[in-house]
Amino acid sequence: MSATSAGTRSPSPDATRDATGGKPPALLVSEPQLGEDEKRALCETIDSGWITMGGRVRAFEEEFARRHGAADAAAVGSCTAALHLILAALDLGPGDEVLVPSLTFVATANSVLYVGATPVFVDIVSLARPLLSLADAEAKLTPRTKAVILVHFAGKLADREAWQTFARRHGLYLVEDAAHVIGLEGVGTFGEAAAFSFYGNKNMTTAEGGMVLARSPELLERVRRLRGHGMTTGTFERLLARHADYDVTMLGYNYRMDELRAAIGLVQLRHLDAWNEKRRVLRAAYEAELPRECPAVLIPFSDDEPSANHIMPALLPKGVSRRGVAASMREAGVQTTMHYPPVHQLSFYRDRFPDRALPVTEEFCDCEITLPLHPKMRQSDVVRVVETLADAIRAEGGKP
């Protein structure tokens, strides 16, 4: 999500002007892929006369589950809602501590606060491997630690076996924030449950939306019930049933998905593999171009493990101002963003949890710049981005 305008780009000329009155850059960090098939699916849904929690939502859940090798799934309004529902369904609450990365979108930590539990920030392994550090997690365990939320940052899966062993040894729930890894083999198989996002800048989108996968059918059923005010039946089921009565058995929420978004999601799912493959090819182009033009720029995750390539993070050489580099790249028509401002340093969190130091996360976030990566790009765009980056570093007095 970060500060990007991508995914929310509006066709209205007024809305595409930024706060300074300028035009958005030609090459965006991310762009939603939407076309005629999505338009047709939306029109069919409107014509059907049934616009929320009906057959399309159910079909989307089934397709999504099948695509990820799961038995079932529950569609919700966002990944934030998915995380909240998972923690609520696991009965986490006041007094419980949940280990979370600070190198993530704020939603990961917010979901812990929603249930009244306490987020405990854990550092990353290294600049080259910016995933949650097992050693730091171990150091931050207390008798109150109940769960770990893993974020598969940038599209790379955390080490499944190591975290499963850790969770088993300490009696912790494992939860995946899978916002960056839609469609990647192995996601959703780590622990109790996984939360996915269909926000406009993710690998597939429903504009806003999310999904839950859970290991146990009972947990998924709890999530499903919590999603709709804890009601024992949904509107669609009541339409089909002979009796229109229902009961409420728990304090739930309105985190439902509607038929329009599910209709878009069904179309998007059909393209997901091709888009993720395109992302892989573009990432490979970056890995070829960057060392040639910008040998001083570090590329995290330069290994052969599979990735959903959600974003393209790069680390600027020491002493080079990211702000300056971003401004001159923007001037040259290339948008960049950052993933992420560390959550523990955001005012809200800093005020509540002072004196937290995460040296590796802080070093990573000081020099991270996110380069454009989305399936509408061509390899020639990658060449242009890298040349623009090299020029921008030079303009800042650095050596690319």
Ligand X SMILES: *Cc1c(COP(=O)(O)O)cnc(C)c1O
Stretch that binds ligand X, among 54-62, 117-125, 175-183, 345-353 (CB under 6 A): 175-183
The contact mask relative to ligand X for 125-154 (x = CB under 6 A, - = no) is: --------------------------x---
Nearest to 172 by CA among 127, 122, 131, 212: 122
Minimal distance in Å, beta carbon 104 to ligand X?
5
Residues 317 and 295: beta-carbon distance below 8 Å? no
Stretch that binds ligand X, among 13-21, 47-55, 102-110, 131-139 (CB under 6 A): 102-110
Using rule CB under 6 A, residue 156 touches ligand X? no
* Residues in CB range of 133: below 8 A, 6 or more apart: 122, 123, 124, 125, 360
Number of residues that bind ligand X (CB under 6 A): 15
Specify the residue, 166 or 198, whose C-beta has the smaller distance to ligand X: 198
Minimal distance in Å, beta carbon 223 to ligand X?
15
Specify the residue, 201 or 388, whose C-beta has the smaller distance to ligand X: 201
Minimal distance in Å, beta carbon 151 to ligand X?
5
Pick from 30, 197, 307, 361 the residue near ligand X by CB under 6 A: 197
Pick from 180, 225, 279, 384 the residue near ligand X by CB under 6 A: 180
Q: Interaction with ligand X in 44-83: which residues (CB under 6 A)?
A: 78-80
Q: Interaction with ligand X in 223-242: which residues (CB under 6 A)?
A: none
Strands 97-101 and 74-76: unpaired
User: Residue 41: left (phi > 0), alpha (psi -120 to 50), or beta?
Assistant: alpha
Catalytic residue among 140, 202, 318, 376: 202
Pick from 30, 45, 102, 104 the residue near ligand X by CB under 6 A: 104
Specify the residue, 45 or 205, whose C-beta has the smaller distance to ligand X: 205
How far apart (Å, rounded) are the C-alpha atoms in residues 307 and 204?
A: 15
Cα dihedral across residues 377, 378, 380, 386: positive or negative:
positive
Strands 193-197 and 210-214: antiparallel
Using rule CB under 6 A, residue 179 touches ligand X? yes
Q: Interaction with ligand X in 332-391: which residues (CB under 6 A)?
A: none
Minimal distance in Å, beta carbon 314 to ligand X?
18
- State phi, psi for 131 to the nearest 5 degrees: -115, 160
202 annotated active-site: yes
Indicate the burial class of 376 (C-beta count within 10 angstroms; 0-12, 13-18, 19 or more). middle
How far apart (Å, rounded) are the C-alpha atoms in residues 77 and 111?
A: 14
Specify the residue, 122 or 294, whose C-beta has the smaller distance to ligand X: 122
Minimal distance in Å, beta carbon 211 to ligand X?
10
DSSP per-residue codes, 39-88: HHHHHHHHHHT--BSSHHHHHHHHHHHHHTT-S--EEES-HHHHHHHHHH
Pick from 60, 64, 105, 301 the residue near ligand X by CB under 6 A: 105
Minimal distance in Å, beta carbon 72 to ligand X?
20
Helical (H) or strand (E) element with 262: helix 259-293
Residues 370 and 337: beta-carbon distance below 8 Å? yes
How far apart (Å, rounded) are the C-alpha atoms in residues 158 and 143?
A: 24
- What single-letter amino acid sits at 113? L
Minimal distance in Å, beta carbon 240 to ligand X?
30
| Positions marked catalytic | 202
Q: Which residues bind ligand X (CB under 6 A)?
A: 1, 78-80, 104-105, 107-108, 151, 177, 179-180, 197, 199, 210
